[in-house]
């Protein structure tokens, strides 16, 4: 039976970050990933020369862990323009840059999703959010983002037309039930950085992390069936022993290997990808549905306007995301999305759109953000057993990278102490 220094179970961003941290400290990791590739929920498929991320997602270049752990320049990030287009009352209103210039941004909204008071509240929210970035991005109370916005005095109109579609898309929860501190952290991230897409798709992020691992330290198609102490049994029956184990699976699989671990509820989404001869807006902007319940689509963008690598030359890729599980029948969902977006861009434009894929992600984001004390406790799961994953931190790229790094650091600290 092979004996290893440290086995990391799960090759999502958390497991990759843990393995990289160990390797950088001179400890040899063996990373075991159940599927055929690393990346977990961050993955990209190529279809007819188009890059389709498995559900629309973005990398914020301001994420502290991304700045620390990734080579952002090598990812050749394409940036979204900082504002958004909001669809309402039969037209688009533009928010210019509510993150960096909240008053100007709010004023620029032609039909006024925001009142002048909202503009002032935005200024205050922005400065508070940036100040709060000094702290920990973990919830310190149970107030939801929705309640927090009301308490701060934002008008219903601002919440319905901007905050709900924008952050509903980020949290994949249009009720805005995420903790208000998590909302503030993300608001701060948008205020000091940009949403981006890498060249080669979001899957380029885990590929970059994996490329930095020592030779022979990664095994794919290696599902772990059971974990007893620090003995690991693969689905093939192969047994592996290690001095220590880091459990870096997602929240659904952790309780399988470690009965008693927390299994949170999940938010889901569906992204419809369309190929088109031309972009309907030719701008790297997010478009939000500010017309509550008029059609299934919450937000739309043209990834190829953000990063040209997403579509073959001369073509455009359009992504339309439904928050929740959408209609179970792809054809009906496509029909309803087209009916909605024909209203946005005109029936003629839609006629040329070709459906490339319906990407359904039932287990996209764990719903709860844990309290700080449980985060600290979750890193050390037992003797020589450590845990990481976005469900133990914040459901995000930043949270996954951070939790992986912290689990590895805890392991290294315990080793030094011994
Ligand atoms: C549709 C969607 C949109 C998102 N949008 C954003 C966004 O815009 N910005 C943002 O910051 N974040 C976003 N996220 C969240 C972010 O992608 C995740 O929080 C993060 O990738 C989670 O990483 P992880 O390593 O914790 O978990 P995972 O990526 O789930 O990795 C867990 C890994 O463990 C492996 N595994 C499980 N069981 C076993 C086993 N028994 N043996 C071996 N391996 C096993 C799995 O195959 C998987 O590779 C989004 C996520 C989704 C799905």
170 alpha carbon – ligand 1 mean position (Å)? 15
Q: Answer whether 57 contacts ligand 1 (Cβ < 6 A).
A: yes
For residues 59 and 400, what is the distance between their CA atoms, to the nearest angstrom? 13
pLDDT for res 119: 80
Residue 389 in tokens:
């994953």
At the top level of CATH, the class of 2-42+203-264+368-417 is: alpha beta
**Top mean-pLDDT range of 8-12, 142-146, 394-398:** 8-12
Which residues, listed in sequence order, are joined to residue 366 by a DSSP beta bridge?
266
Distance of CA 354 to the CA centre of its chain: 26
* Rama region for 351: left / alpha / beta (φ>0; ψ in -120 to 50; rest): alpha
pLDDT for res 414: 95
288 alpha carbon – ligand 1 mean position (Å)? 25
Query: What does the DSSP 8-state code read for residue 214?
Result: P
Pairing of strands 266-276, 84-88: unpaired
Task: Out of 47-61, 72-86, 124-138, 283-297, pick the least confident.
Answer: 124-138
> Tell me: the pLDDT tens digits for 5-20?
999 999 999 999 999 9
Helices (H), 174-278: 180-192, 204-211, 254-257
Task: State the average pLDDT over residues 106-128.
Answer: 73
At the top level of CATH, the class of 44-78+196-201+266-366 is: alpha beta
Atom of ligand 1 nearest to the CA of 403: 26
Task: State the average pLDDT over residues 71-75.
Answer: 98
Closest C-alpha to ligand 1, atom 48: 40
Mutate which of 57, 235, 357 to test ligand 1's pocket (most atoms within 8 Å of Cβ)?
Answer: 57
Task: State the average pLDDT over residues 217-221.
Answer: 98
CB atoms within 10 A of CB 235: 12
Residue 57 in tokens:
């997602």
pLDDT for res 100: 67
* pLDDT band (50, 70, 90) for residue 260: confident
> Tell me: the pLDDT tens digits for 351-394?
999 999 999 999 999 987 666 556 556 788 889 999 999 998 88
13 alpha carbon – ligand 1 mean position (Å)? 7
Read out DSSP for 49-115?
TEEEESS---EETT-HHHHHHS-TTTTTPEEPPSSEEEEETTEEEEE--TTT-HHHHHHT-TT-SS-
- Answer yes or no: are the C-beta atoms of 219 and 30 closer than 8 Å: yes
> Tell me: the pLDDT tens digits for 177-208?
988 888 999 999 998 999 999 999 999 999 99
Judge whether 2-42+203-264+368-417 and 44-78+196-201+266-366 match in fold.
no
Atom of ligand 1 nearest to the CA of 222: 43
Q: Name the average pLDDT for the chain.
A: 90
Whether the pLDDT of residue 125 is over 50: the answer is yes
Distance of CA 79 to the CA centre of its chain: 16
Atom of ligand 1 nearest to the CA of 17: 25
Share of the chain above pLDDT 70, in %: 90
121 alpha carbon – ligand 1 mean position (Å)? 34
Task: State the average pLDDT over residues 16-36.
Answer: 97
Task: Out of 175-184, 264-273, 348-357, pick the least confident.
Answer: 175-184
* pLDDT band (50, 70, 90) for residue 316: very high
pLDDT for res 111: 43
Task: State the average pLDDT over residues 318-322.
Answer: 98
Q: Answer whether 186 contacts ligand 1 (Cβ < 6 A).
A: no
Q: Where are the domains of the chain?
A: 2-42+203-264+368-417, 44-78+196-201+266-366, 95-192
Mutate which of 29, 41, 60, 228 to test ligand 1's pocket (most atoms within 8 Å of Cβ)?
Answer: 41
* 3-class SS of residue 376: helix
* pLDDT band (50, 70, 90) for residue 157: confident
């Amino acid at each position: 039976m092979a004996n290893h220094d440290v086995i990391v179970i799960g090759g999502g961003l958390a497991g990759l970050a843990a393995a990289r941290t160990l390797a950088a400290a001179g400890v040899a990791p063996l990373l075991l990933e159940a599927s055929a590739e690393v990346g977990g929920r961050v993955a990209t498929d190529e279809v007819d020369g188009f890059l389709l991320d498995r559900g629309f997602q973005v990398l914020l270049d301001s994420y502290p862990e991304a700045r620390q752990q990734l080579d952002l320049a090598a990812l050749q990030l394409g940036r979204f323009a900082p504002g958004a287009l909001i669809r309402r009352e039969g037209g688009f209103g533009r928010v210019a840059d509510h993150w960096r210039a909240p008053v100007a941004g709010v004023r620029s909204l032609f039909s006024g999703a925001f009142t002048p008071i909202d503009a002032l509240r935005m200024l205050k929210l922005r400065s508070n959010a940036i100040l709060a970035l000094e702290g920990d991005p973990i919830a310190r109370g149970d107030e939801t983002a929705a309640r927090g916005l009301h308490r701060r005095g934002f008008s219903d109109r601002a919440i319905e037309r901007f905050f709900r579609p924008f952050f509903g898309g980020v949290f994949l929860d249009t009720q805005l039930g995420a903790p208000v501190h998590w909302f503030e952290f993300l608001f701060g991230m948008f205020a000091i950085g940009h949403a981006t897409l890498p060249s080669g798709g979001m899957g380029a992020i885990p590929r970059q992390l994996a490329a930095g691992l020592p030779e022979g330290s990664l095994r794919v198609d290696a599902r772990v069936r059971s974990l007893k102490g620090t003995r690991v049994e693969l689905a093939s029956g192969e047994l592996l022993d290690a001095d220590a184990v880091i459990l870096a699976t997602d929240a659904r699989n952790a309780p399988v290997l470690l009965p008693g671990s927390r299994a949170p509820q999940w938010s889901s989404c569906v992204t419809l990808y369309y190929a088109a001869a031309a972009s309907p807006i030719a701008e790297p902007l997010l478009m939000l549905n500010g017309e509550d319940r008029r059609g299934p689509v919450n937000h739309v963008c043209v990834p190829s306007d953000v990063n040209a690598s997403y579509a073959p030359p001369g073509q455009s890729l359009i992504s339309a995301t439904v928050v929740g599980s959408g209609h179970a029948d792809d054809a009906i969902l496509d029909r309803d999305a087209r009916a909605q977006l024909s209203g946005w861009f005109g029936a003629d434009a839609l006629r040329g759109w070709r459906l490339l894929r319906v990407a359904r992600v039932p287990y996209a984001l764990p719903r709860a953000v844990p309290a700080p004390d449980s985060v600290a406790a979750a890193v050390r799961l037992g003797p020589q057993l450590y845990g990481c994953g976005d469900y133990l931190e914040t459901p995000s790229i930043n949270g996954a990278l951070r939790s992986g790094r912290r689990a590895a650091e805890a392991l290294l600290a315990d080793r030094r102490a011994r």
